[in-house]
Amino acid sequence: MPRHRFAVLVFPGTNCERDVLEALRTVTRQDAELVWHQEGSLAGFDAAVVPGGFAHGDYLRAGGLARFSPVMAPLSAMAGSGRPVIGICNGFQILQEARLLPGAMLRNRSLTYVCRDVWIRAEDRNSPLTAALEEGDKLRIPVGHAEGNFFADDEELEALESGQQVLFRYCDEAGRTRDGTNPNGSRNGIAGVRNRRGNVAALMPHPDRAYESVLGNTDGVRVFDSLIRWMES
Amino acid sequence: MSDSECEAGLPDALAAGLTADEYRKIESRLGRSPNPTELGMFSAMWSEHCSYKSSKRQLARFPTESPRVLEGPGENAGAAAIGEGLAAVFKVESHNHPTFIEPFQGAATGVGGILRDIFTMGARPVALMNSLRFGPPAVRKNRVLLGRAVAGIANYGNSMGIPTLGGEVAFDDCYSLNPLVNAFALGIAPADRIFRARADTPGDPVFCVGAKTGRDGIHGASMASAAFDEEAEAKRPTVQVGDPFLEKLLMEACLELMAGEALAAVQDLGAAGLTCSTAEIAARGGSGIEIDLDLAPQRETGMSAYEIMLSESQERMLLVVRRGREAEVERVFAKWDLDAAAIGRITADGLLRVRHAGRPAATIPCRALTEDAPVYDRPRETPQWWPEPEVRDGDLPEPDDWNEAVLRLVGSPGLASRRFVYEQYDHLVGSDTLARPGGDAGVVRIKGTPLGIAMSLDGNGRYTARDPWRGGALAVAEACRNLAAVGATPVGATNCLNFGNPEKPEVMWQLSEVVSGMCEALTALSVPITGGNVSLYNETEEEGIFPTPVVGVVGVFDDVSTLVGQHFCEPGDLLFLAGPQGSDALGASEYLKVFQQSTGGRPPAPNLEAEVRLGAFLRAAAARRLTRSARDLSEGGLIQAAVESLFAPDGSAQGAAFDLEFAGAPLGALIGEAPARALLSVRPRDADDFAELASVHGVPLAALGTAGGDSLAIRANGVEIIRLTVDDLWPAFGHGLERAVSDRR
């Protein structure tokens, strides 16, 4: 019997909703449903995922218009109530634009879109993206973005680091963080963060593209397992 | 006096690119002189781009039937049955002319156009590929064209959320002023719910949906049917501007609507815009159509009937709706924030009637614009120089230093890894990508079924230029071999024929020979053509391109878990060369191009019997899970296939030791490009079964060595001539293209 019900938000231009839905259903064996951005309520859902894509065409800025969609009010309420809200890629950008997560995304240092496997290292376990991981665990997960260059000013960066809000950092296969391992120029190699309370979390890489052995990579399973672990602890 | 009341005469027709004969044919078809709007509509529909008037007779020679073909040439895209009640819907199309004028938008709208062709048929697109050709990257302008075209393709495909699984990038002088951008798309539809562009029920309302019509892209079809001169810059307004976000909404809205029963017929608005879509959708159904342009959503005010009928504004579709179901269309398009305007209806009289500003603006029999367009059998002439001599390895000096030669070859722009390009394309969205770009074929699974789809896009203009028959046959053979390498069975093919000016007899000879070569290979390999397009007049200032056929073959896996990898996986695995041994074809090869700056010599002779046997063997070995990795041998020969097999997409690398015995010189054995061959790796315990299977299929098999270690080591007749570590090779092979095309130098 499924114990949880997940909402997967769909904005015009979202394009990873089916990937996330399939990954959630396959890995967690819980209920997951698509929710159109015009919905004014998330009643009956225990958690929400904001998937990747180009919400509202990413006009203005990546994620910049999505925060005006009606579904964002109940999403903020869900975040405020302590239930898990997670973002992947464009979902990360949307949660930043909605001020549910810190920092902002700049264009990649290369000025081009980048799609490839990267290694990331778990930095903190207190989040619905990392609860099933140990600090220092390494995952190989694909990225696919043009604006994933995480930026925060010195003061905010210091606050994020000292508050253990950094969840993932780009690294090499051995877990070392080096300049060459950072695919987009993110400050401190940041690939994922959480809010102070820990229930809102996001990452740029796509665990929804690495959840089944047929895809040649199951490292993303541990990210979705974390969601269940976090909700049940 | 309004446009509709004045007459357009012969001088207007000549200025619009029509001939005097064609103008007389229009007059006789109408029984009067056309007005300017009508003349513009004829000029677009009778252009080479829309009418295929020079190539139609050639295209009619392609084999187009098989038990799997559900839709052959003539619809928006072809369709083949793939099992489980599903169909693969696919097509490749050129966007060459717009790309030269404005590379970002030209290439981007090429992707947008081909995607509309796919979802028009009711299929959800699941994969893209593209085939790109530019002038040498040493010239800055060529680097800019490449960079902007790739960025445009990435912008459109990535935003749509459809993975780009591979394709080609090639360079040659002849593409400097005529770059080629051919875009391929593939979608999946229920086999019994394929939508067609055929309206046959008078009274059904006609809707124009999606973007508003603006003044962009007017006469794009005519522009794409003429050679360029130094005024090409002035043609920039004929290039359309794409909006992938709008197209994403249009795609979702159309697919949502197509799940119901409201639609009778669908056609996208591409070349020649409303003119082409209205005339074709009615002509195919044997009906007529009337539209009122005042009802069409417009982006700007004061547009004339001529402009509205010929606008090529992107992201628009023409829907013919079952009478009484209009509200469903309006509801779905409102949900997606898109315009959906009823602009007319289907009639019984066979006429295309256009009203504008309350008056008739055009009245033309639909078939006059489509089926009755002129067809030419243009003169062909075999050039004096043909055929070129074959080039064997004895004709060429061996490299002094083989290590250096290998680094130079695999690091050259023609052979280096395409990573720098394909990493800009989202190739993983959809979570279905099982074989990523960089291999012989792209592969996606179909969720909820055991099926997989493989696809490959191939062509070699250098081969075709020196021997069009061989080049045509080899393009088909290589695409099929690429599918066989991963273990898939070809089910259909699409093609894009990129040529120069068909009014030149030598160009028509090339076209006819290419089609003959393709036909022979398609027949031998049992692959039908289901559609495609032709791009002629790829000439600027009298300089033409190499005749460049690009062939896209689609294959199916009944069980995609039998997919064969493309990289050496485990130390100790045994390496084999399958196919005819002792071939040393070096004519028109990458080696000649890199080391002799020559594009001459006769390309290798196709060996279609050997291709058929090799394909059957590779598929049988894959189905029995005997093959660990497979790579076909093509440009760059064995060396290139070996180097490509060393580097896996996850960043890991595996060395290999080859111990080769052969009769001739190393050049032919290592770098020759003879077809019908593949480099394979096999677990030692499977080697006997593997060899037996090869012999059952009549495929010669030679043991080459073993995978493992940190180097590529090659012994030739007992003497080590090559030893390069993977760390030596990667900077050349992995970064060669990036170095050649990036502007930071």
Query: In the predicted model, is pLDDT for residue B8 greater than 90?
Result: no
CB contact under 8 A, B431 and A23: yes
Q: Does B9 touch chain A (CB under 8 A)?
A: no
Which of A18, A22, A117 lies nearest to residue B650, judging by beta carbons? A117
Percent of chain B with pLDDT over 70: 96
The pLDDT, as a whole number, for residue B240 is: 78
Q: Are strands B351-356 and B263-268 parallel, antiparallel or unpaired?
A: unpaired
Residue with tokens 């066979």: B350
The pLDDT, as a whole number, for residue B236 is: 58
The pLDDT, as a whole number, for residue B225 is: 67
DSSP sequence for B373-397 = S----------TTPSPPB--GGGSP
Element (H, E) at B423: none
- DSSP classification of residue A169: E
Restricting to B residues 601-660, those with a Cβ less than 8 Å away from any Cβ of A are 649-651
**Upper half-sphere CA count for residue B391 (Cβ side, 13 Å):** 25
What's the CA gap between B68 and A196, in Å, rounded?
58
For residues B457 and B551, the answer to whether their CB atoms sit within 8 Å is yes
**Upper half-sphere CA count for residue B49 (Cβ side, 13 Å):** 27
Tokens of B716: 């030739």
Tell me what ipTM this predicted complex has: 0.96
B368-405 tens-digit pLDDT: 999 999 999 999 999 999 888 888 777 788 899 999 99
What does pTM read for this prediction? 0.95
Instruction: Give the three-class secondary structure for B628.
Output: coil
Query: In the predicted model, is pLDDT for residue B743 greater than 70?
Result: no
The pLDDT, as a whole number, for residue B745 is: 47
Query: In the predicted model, is pLDDT for residue A148 greater than 60?
Result: yes
Q: Are strands A200-203 and B69-71 parallel, antiparallel or unpaired?
A: unpaired
Query: In the predicted model, is pLDDT for residue B584 greater than 90?
Result: no
Query: In the predicted model, is pLDDT for residue B587 greater than 70?
Result: yes
Query: In the predicted model, is pLDDT for residue B125 greater than 60?
Result: yes
- Does B397 sit behind a cis peptide bond, omega within 30 degrees of 0 on the bond before it? no
* Active-site position among B49, B219, B567, B697: B49
User: Between the CA of residue A230 and those of A49, A95, A106, B125, what are the distances in Å?
Assistant: 14, 19, 30, 36
The pLDDT, as a whole number, for residue B238 is: 67
What's the CA gap between B516 and B596, in Å, rounded?
31
Residue with tokens 């007049």: B537
The pLDDT, as a whole number, for residue B234 is: 63
Active site residue B567: no
- Work out the number of other CB atoms within 10 angstroms of the CB of residue A81: 9
The pLDDT, as a whole number, for residue B649 is: 84
- At residue B248, φ and ψ (nearest 5 deg) are -60, -45
- Work out the number of other CB atoms within 10 angstroms of the CB of residue A228: 21
B256-312 tens-digit pLDDT: 999 999 999 999 998 899 999 999 999 999 999 999 999 999 998 999 999 999 998
Query: In the predicted model, is pLDDT for residue A233 greater than 90?
Result: no
Tell me the average pLDDT of chain B: 93
**Alpha-helical regions (H) of B492-602:** 505-524, 590-596
CB contact under 8 A, B161 and A144: no
Give the residues across from A92 on adjacent strands: none
Query: In the predicted model, is pLDDT for residue B231 greater than 70?
Result: no
Active site residue B49: yes
The pLDDT, as a whole number, for residue B713 is: 98
Element (H, E) at A80: helix A72-80
Banded pLDDT at B521 (limits 50, 70, 90) = very high
Tokens of B261: 């029963």
- Judged on CB neighbours under 10 Å (0-12, 13-18, 19+), B532 is buried
A58-102 tens-digit pLDDT: 998 999 999 999 999 999 999 999 999 999 999 999 999 999 999
B196-225 tens-digit pLDDT: 999 999 999 999 999 999 988 777 666 666
Query: In the predicted model, is pLDDT for residue B235 greater than 70?
Result: no
Query: In the predicted model, is pLDDT for residue A140 greater than 50?
Result: yes
Amino acid at B100: F
CB contact under 8 A, B429 and A52: yes
The size of chain B, in residues, is 745
B325-351 tens-digit pLDDT: 999 999 999 999 999 999 999 999 999
For residues B743 and B143, the answer to whether their CB atoms sit within 8 Å is yes
Which of B158, B246, B434 lies nearest to residue A214, judging by beta carbons? B434
Exposure string for B44-81, b = 16+ CB within 10 A, e = fewer:
bbbbbbbbbbbbebbbeebbbebebbbbbbebbbbbbb
**Alpha-helical regions (H) of B559-718:** 590-596, 608-623, 637-646, 666-671, 687-696
B40-80 tens-digit pLDDT: 999 999 999 999 999 999 999 999 999 999 999 988 999 99
The pLDDT, as a whole number, for residue B4 is: 61
- Angle at alpha carbon of residue B694, lines to B610 and B454, rounded to 5°: 70
The minimum CA-CA distance between A100 and chain B, rounded to whole Å, is 24
Q: Does B85 touch chain A (CB under 8 A)?
A: no
- Judged on CB neighbours under 10 Å (0-12, 13-18, 19+), B330 is middle
Query: In the predicted model, is pLDDT for residue A156 greater than 60?
Result: yes
Query: In the predicted model, is pLDDT for residue B1 greater than 50?
Result: no
The minimum CA-CA distance between B249 and chain A, rounded to whole Å, is 7
B23-47 tens-digit pLDDT: 999 999 999 999 999 999 999 999 9
Return the closest-CA partner of residue B113 out of B333, B297, B271, B235. Answer: B271
B532-547 tens-digit pLDDT: 999 999 998 878 899 9
Tell me the average pLDDT of chain A: 96
Which of A16, A59, A211 lies nearest to residue B161, judging by beta carbons? A16
* Least confident span in B473-487, B568-582, B669-683, B731-745: B731-745
For residues A66 and A56, the answer to whether their CB atoms sit within 8 Å is yes
Tokens of B36: 């300017």
**Chain A residue closest in CA terms to B336:** A12
Return the closest-CA partner of residue B413 out of B138, B621, B665. Answer: B138
